[in-house]
């Protein structure tokens, strides 16, 4: 089929373009490069089955021709991004989702929403199941992202129940791998870049907070299976192996061989204390579970950063456009 992927030049969006093309589909990628980067999709530009549109999905969006699927991955998705771009984050989660849903409805296409484990907030239930409603501070610094995604889920379900649109909702847990941006506020990329640069690895708080890390290829496999074979109910896709932030830092130190120390900074406001997906539903309905363990996934990601640090795409000082709202997780 022919599918539209918003946020196509972002970390996950670009891997998703690769997967759909590898499966024989035709892909229209859409991004405005606020947090995505052209280098992530440069290898696709010579493929006749890939078309790119530079556009902000938060504004009126039209794509000519038939579409079998609309996958909405456009959004700032790291703490630094959505704290620097709060209005754009809210707009792409609300207006952008509305526009993408309207396009799917007009084309008779399946709609896929990239939601997030952040809808669970600082959870009081552990691990997190899809039936848990969350513990979110709507006016805290993370609220612009959390509530944008919660609204996006609500309007997606409304289009499903009221308009009969065939929809999917994925709740993505911490994902890492090649094409992450350096120093983007995500713990994996921060630790790796700091270690390779010989800088102290910064832990916020005492490092006892936990996260669950899913390698990009596993995440994309879950996304593809959910798109093709899932249903309208939200589905967690993530790796249930749980690590403290301190354990992750120590593993990065070991794998990079850095002699840099680990230092501690104050814990940010509303930082979740625990985060672990219950993937019972994904296992039962999709036959999916992750296959790449954290040690192997980190080794691959470290090698990617070794090869690409210093390039324009990996230079955190590179200016980026400030208007609009787009790009992927």
Check pLDDT > 70 for residue 320. no
For the ranges 143-157, 287-301, 311-325, which has the lowest average pLDDT? 311-325
CA separation, residue 152 to residues 97, 116, 117, 142, 194 (Å): 6, 10, 13, 16, 34
Chain-wide mean pLDDT for the chain?
A: 93
Check pLDDT > 50 for residue 38. yes
Does domain 2-314 sit in CATH 3.40.50.720?
yes
The answer to whether the CB of 4 falls within 8 A of the CB of 66 is no
pLDDT digit string, tens, across residues 169-203: 999 999 999 999 988 889 999 999 999 999 999 99
Q: Which residue, 271, 274, 11, is CA-closest to 142?
A: 271
- Look at residue 314 in the predicted model and tell me its pLDDT: 60
Instruction: Over range 222-248, report the average pLDDT.
Output: 98
The angle that helices 143-163 and 97-107 make with each other, rounded to 10 degrees, is 20
pLDDT digit string, tens, across residues 73-109: 999 998 889 889 999 999 999 999 999 999 999 999 9
- For the chain, what are the domain ranges? 2-314
Where b means 16+ CB within 10 Å and e means fewer, 182-217 reads bbbbbbbbbbbbbbbeeeebebeeebebbbbbbbbb
Instruction: Say which of 120, 145, 176, 243 is annotated catalytic.
Output: 145
Q: Is 204 a catalytic residue?
A: no
Strand-pair category, 235-237 with 214-215:
unpaired
Write out the two tokens for 254: 């070991």
Q: Which residue, 129, 121, 142, 95, is CA-closest to 268?
A: 142
- Look at residue 207 in the predicted model and tell me its pLDDT: 95
Check pLDDT > 50 for residue 325. no
The answer to whether the CB of 234 falls within 8 A of the CB of 170 is yes
Instruction: Over range 103-123, report the average pLDDT.
Output: 98
Neighbour-count burial of 322, counting CB atoms closer than 10 A to its CB (0-12 exposed, 13-18 middle, 19+ buried) = exposed
Q: What is the pTM of this model?
A: 0.94
The angle that helices 216-229 and 11-22 make with each other, rounded to 10 degrees, is 60
Q: Residue 232 CA to chain centroid, in angstroms?
A: 19
Write out the two tokens for 155: 């309007």
């Amino acid at each position: 089929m022919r599918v539209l992927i918003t946020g196509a030049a972002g970390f996950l969006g670009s891997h998703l373009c690769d997967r759909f093309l590898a499966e024989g589909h035709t892909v229209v990628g859409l991004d405005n490069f606020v947090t995505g980067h052209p280098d992530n999709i440069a290898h696709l530009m010579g493929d006749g089955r890939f078309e790119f549109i530079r556009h902000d999905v938060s504004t009126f969006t039209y794509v000519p021709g038939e579409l079998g699927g609309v996958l909405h991955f456009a959004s700032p998705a790291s703490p630094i991004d959505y704290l620097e771009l709060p209005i754009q984050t809210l707009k792409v989660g609300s207006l952008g989702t509305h526009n993408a849903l309207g396009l799917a409805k007009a084309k008779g296409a399946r709609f896929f929403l990239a939601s997030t484990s952040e809808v669970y907030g600082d959870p009081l239930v552990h691990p997190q199941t899809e039936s848990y409603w969350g513990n979110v501070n709507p006016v805290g610094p993370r609220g612009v992202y959390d509530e944008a995604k919660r609204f996006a889920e609500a309007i997606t379900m409304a289009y499903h129940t009221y308009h009969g649109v065939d929809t999917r909702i994925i709740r993505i847990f911490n994902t890492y791998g090649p094409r992450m941006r350096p120093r983007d506020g995500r713990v994996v990329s921060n630790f790796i870049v700091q270690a390779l640069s010989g800088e102290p690895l910064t832990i916020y708080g005492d490092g006892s907070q936990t996260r669950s890390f899913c390698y990009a290829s596993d995440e994309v496999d879950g996304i593809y299976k959910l798109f093709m074979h899932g249903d309208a109910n939200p589905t967690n896709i993530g790796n249930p192996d749980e690590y403290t932030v301190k354990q992750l830092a120590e593993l990065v130190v070991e794998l990079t061989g850095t002699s840099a120390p680990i230092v501690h900074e104050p814990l940010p406001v509303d930082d979740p204390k625990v985060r672990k997906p219950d993937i019972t539903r994904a296992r039962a309905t999709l036959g999916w579970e992750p296959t790449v363990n954290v040690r192997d996934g980190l080794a691959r990601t470290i090698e990617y950063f070794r090869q690409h640090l210093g390039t324009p795409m990996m230079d955190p000082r590179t200016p980026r456009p400030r208007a609009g709202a787009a790009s992927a997780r």
